[in-house]
Amino acid sequence: MTTTTRKKKKHHFGRIHVSNESDSNLSVPLLAGGPGFSRTVYCNDPECLEAGQLRYKNNYVRTTKYTIATFLPKSLFEQFRRVANLYFLVCALLSFTPLSPYSALSNVVPLVVVVAATMGKEIVEDWRRKMQDIKMNNRKVKAHRGDGTFEPKKWRDLRVGDIVKVEKDEFFPADLILFSSSYEEAICYVETTNLDGETNLKLKPALEATSGLNEDSLFIDFKAIVRCEDPNANLYTFIGSLYLEDCQLPLSPQQLLLRDSKLRNTDYVYGVVIFTGHDTKVMQNSTAPPSKRSKIERRTDKIVYFLFSMLVLMSTIGSIYFGIETGMDIEDGAMTRWYLRPDITTIYYDPTKPALAAILHFLTAFMLYGYLIPISLYVSIEIVKVLQSVFINNDIHMYHEESDTPARARTSNLNEELGQVDTILSDKTGTLTCNSMEFIKCSIAGVAYGQGVTEVEKAMARRKGEELDDEDNQDNELKQFVSVKGYNFIDERIVDGNWVNEPRADVIQKFLQLLAICHTAIPDVDEETRNISYEAESPDEAAFVIAARELGFEFCERTQSSISFLEFDPTTGEKVKRVYTLLNIIEFSSSRKRMSVIVQNEEGKLLLLCKGADSVMFERLAEDGREFEQQTRSHINEYAEAGLRTLILAYREVEESEYKEFNEAFMEAKSSVSADRDELVDQVADQFERNLILLGATAVEDKLQNGVPECIDKLAQAGIKLWVLTGDKMETAINIGYACSLLREGMKQIIISSEMHERKTLEKASDKSAMDDALKASVLHHITEGKELASRESTDALALIIDGKSLAHALEDDVKDMFLDLALACASVICCRSSPKQKALVTRLVKHKTGATTLAIGDGANDVGMLQEADIGVGISGSEGMQAVMSSDIAIAQFRFLERLLLIHGHWCYRRIASMICYFFYKNIVFGFTLFYFEAYTSFSGQTAYNDWYLSFYNIFFTSLPVIALGVFDQDVSSKLCLKFPQLYQEGVQNVIFNWRRIIGWSFNGIFSATSVFYFCVYAMESQAFRGGGEVVGFEILGTVLYTCVVWVVNAQMALAINYFTYIQHLFIFGSLAVWYLFLVAYGAMDPDISTTAYQVFVEACAPSASFWLITLFVMFSTLVPYSIYAAVQLQFFPMYHQMIQLIEANGQSEDLEFSLMLQQRSLTPPTLVGCTARLEAKNSSFSESRQEE
């Protein structure tokens, strides 16, 4: 339990995060009641007349996609938005007319089955959501009845203005304003895991004016009004005021308790409901993620449109021919085809109206040739993708044991995209690195402390061919003396209280005091061991507090108005408890890049303590506060080169009059109920946080994750480009780039930095616009020079490194194309000091301009825009919460798992889906063209070759399961060989399995197979006796033999196309054939009114005839021989890369180094320019050149 005090105190200064509350005479800029700020809450009086007129939403929450009333219309609309389904619906409707070539039932059933299967899936998913809604809406919370008592009330029945009492470990039922808690200080601790995934506790303070409302009975006569912003999706802002007893009190996000967050370490809290149901911030954030479709799926749509065009063309050709032939049935009063009796025919065959007959025939053919379009394609693809996702989720090699985190495919729509990634855009901190910060070095009073060696320094030494003599000794020493997470510091000069002997011990003391005070961490005391751990908002902040503790300044207690720590007293040599009054906290933000606290020490001095990025801190130093600036700058540059993250620490004393003036302006800004409140607060803080005195700088290490260099090397060998987009300093990013082999010695670097430019232009440009113009001109100049260098350097690798200010200009409309051309010509791209928006814009630029598949990977909330913008977003479940994971398409625990995700699962999924779709179209073209040929054979009379139910079950029972097995289980090469030959991945990037050449090839194969099957069958049976009695075949026998041959040919073709057989493939292929024969027997045994042309056709006619079996075997083999010859020639003389791997594996040469190197050289992958392999090759090449020169 966190340490707090139970004694009631009177505080003269503001509480944590909130300064002194204003009184009624305070003049504040108000927009309450205006657009965006019209919310009015009548506290403890939700049934008053005014509240009733507002008609706010109730607290019932529905996350289902459908209701009972909307399910059918909405679901049917979703189904028939697909062109293929809409076409089959039209055919089903037309099947009830005399135009139909088959019975209505046989046409409607397949459509109903396909649509019902998809709708059933929707029902199951929505029912689960419904159960979750019911469970949540029926949760209970204690609500005020109006007589000083609180009784359980269902969440769904809460109204705006209700006073509720939430107890420990309960979830907040709506968005509440905190009034009081079980602590005398009216604070509470909140866990927001359900909102942002962060597990660290947040401290929430109530206003002092309501802190006394800590008993049920005190609410009998309580009345107040809250005026605040309207419902919105921003979790981290809130603007409002509480009107209590003629006082206006400003409300901030610190008093806001969000729905679905949990009360922790606090017995109970009281609060008022301000947003309910779908007005709550968590529900406002529950918008659907951007819709993403894979490139293969989009190409599949084009193929469907192409087949639809072919269908129309075939129908048109047949109709024209039919119209001409029909018009010639009666010539000069004589009947040419007398056996058709054209003199007494219907309108559909009327020779006197051939044009009308042709139009009606077109509609008949339009339905009949519909079997060109596979009705079960999309359903089959969905099934296959779900099963592929199961394999990804259950891959033990992508399971992270330390965090108990498996890989998780959050959507199955993009499985095949994983096999086509051209460019990866990666965050650095928490993605390439661990985001588990360790305090390792610091600079205090111009003196560098800390003797540890970072991973980057080790990599730099290896890069320069140097040895760190004391590396092993230091590692052993650290292991012996340091065993604290977040603390990896060793320097005998300041540890164990030795800092008192340093020349500037006074500065060191202030430095360590600042580390112990300037933060928002929460101490948590273990009741058994009395050890203190810390809940901090970031790993950096936790590392600072831990470092202060280990160096003798132990932060131990926080209240709303004070912060306490045990300080080493150099005079007595003992620890003394210091209590500082906490007046204000000016929080960190990405725009401010710093945080400050204003405290009052035990002597009554007011102190401003500040820590922040060097880019904003040095400019805030006073003239007499720069004593150590030069040394500190030098040290932080060294730290950045060592891959460390740095912060500057500074302070100043504040006069009481100055503080009162600041606090008044600060409170006025915080009390502003307007959209620009944050900006007003920042302006006030900006003026106050100046004239600081420099103390020093901290340096924390964020180590590379395990396996990152090896993973990057494999991805580079696979031809995948990696861009790093980070908010870190350029020096830090460059050295991390060296450590993970994105950069190497000999690689020419194109550096576009605003820092270098600004030093030259500061004196020349006096205004900001002139500086911006000069910077843009400099960026253009660097880009132009870089492109010229790239055009000259055809073999050497280039690296582009650009900072945030320069990137802002590089992304402008008139520059971005040039910037992209340069970036694509470079082997490595590192964007430093990038904002979240810039990350998303870079991702969008690469995706839209190149047309290649992009994958973004990150772990923090600042990566969400990038993940949603990329074709595939991969979230890493790390130390920065789960917001990236919740916005991602696929979640993994470590960057190194990306290697297996792409090179194995991505390659397999791409190949399986591409092959499956090609085969789907092949088997439907075979089937559709036999119908067309039979139509031509019968003068386009509209007669079908097959029984109605043969037509219906072709795509459902006799050919569908083998193709699903192909999409789920097929492997061209094993997982081991996928990793050994990463160059194989380029088959997906270059789309060699699903390009138009291959698609057209499968289409021609289908047309040839249909031609072969039809004409072999017709000419083999046309004039020959079929039965023992000498009878020739009839129409029904011809149709059955044709159909049997088609089923055999397409399933045998499937067997030839499969690379990896399992018993499931055998079962589905031979099972489909067996099901066809069983169906013939069972269906043929039914009443003739039901089985029609199939009545006893197999038992009585086909099975006893030797011709039936001989024709089937002959047609199957003769049809597949050309394909087999083509495949053999192609394998022998023009093998694809995966076939080369298959050959050396079959010959037992996969472990032979010579064959492996030869195979790698024949790959489609361009030369590897980054990674460990490229570094080794460059080193060997350099060595060879030097030997030749000698």
C-alpha to C-alpha distance for 764 and 756, rounded to whole angstroms: 14
Q: Is the dihedral of CA 1148, 1151, 1152, 1154 positive or negative?
A: positive
* Owner of token pair 């309501």: 210
C-alpha to C-alpha distance for 900 and 711, rounded to whole angstroms: 9
User: Beta strand pairing status for 262-264 and 187-191?
Assistant: antiparallel
How far apart, in Å, do the first and last CA atoms of the chain sit? 72
Residue 147 catalytic? no
Instruction: Write the burial class of residue 215 (CB in 10 Å: 0-12 exposed, 13-18 middle, 19+ buried).
Output: exposed
Backbone angles phi, psi at 1030, to 5 degrees: 90, 5
Compute how many other C-beta atoms are within 10 angstroms of the C-beta atom of residue 342: 18
Instruction: Write the burial class of residue 556 (CB in 10 Å: 0-12 exposed, 13-18 middle, 19+ buried).
Output: middle
Q: What is the largest CA-CA distance in the chain?
A: 131
C-alpha to C-alpha distance for 374 and 963, rounded to whole angstroms: 12
Torsion of Cα atoms, 215 then 221 then 226 then 232, to 10° = 60
Going from the C-alpha of 770 to that of each of 754, 783, 807, 815, the distances in angstroms are 14, 20, 18, 18
C-alpha to C-alpha distance for 115 and 108, rounded to whole angstroms: 11
Q: What's the token pair of residue 901?
A: 């995700």
C-alpha to C-alpha distance for 786 and 823, rounded to whole angstroms: 9
C-alpha to C-alpha distance for 539 and 302, rounded to whole angstroms: 49
8 A C-beta contact, residue 1066 and residue 1055: no
DSSP assignment letter at 21: P
8 A C-beta contact, residue 827 and residue 750: no
C-alpha to C-alpha distance for 334 and 351, rounded to whole angstroms: 12
Which residue, 1119, 698, 740, 1060, is CA-closest to 911?
1060
C-alpha to C-alpha distance for 82 and 375, rounded to whole angstroms: 11
C-alpha to C-alpha distance for 715 and 898, rounded to whole angstroms: 9
8 A C-beta contact, residue 436 and residue 916: no
Instruction: Write the burial class of residue 544 (CB in 10 Å: 0-12 exposed, 13-18 middle, 19+ buried).
Output: buried
Strands (E), 529-568: 532-535, 553-558, 562-568
Q: How would DSSP label each residue in 296-338?
A: HHHHHHHHHHHHHHHHHHHHHHHHHHHHHHHHTSEETTEETTG
Helix (H, G, I), strand (E, B) or coil at 227: strand
8 A C-beta contact, residue 1094 and residue 950: yes
Helix (H) or strand (E) holding 77: helix 71-79
Rg (CA), the chain: 37
C-alpha to C-alpha distance for 320 and 940, rounded to whole angstroms: 10
| Annotated catalytic residue, options 175, 422, 427, 614 | 427
Q: What's the token pair of residue 1072?
A: 């489909």
8 A C-beta contact, residue 21 and residue 208: yes
Compute how many other C-beta atoms are within 10 angstroms of the C-beta atom of residue 1154: 8
8 A C-beta contact, residue 178 and residue 275: no
Counting every residue, how long is the chain? 1190
| Residues with a known catalytic role | 427
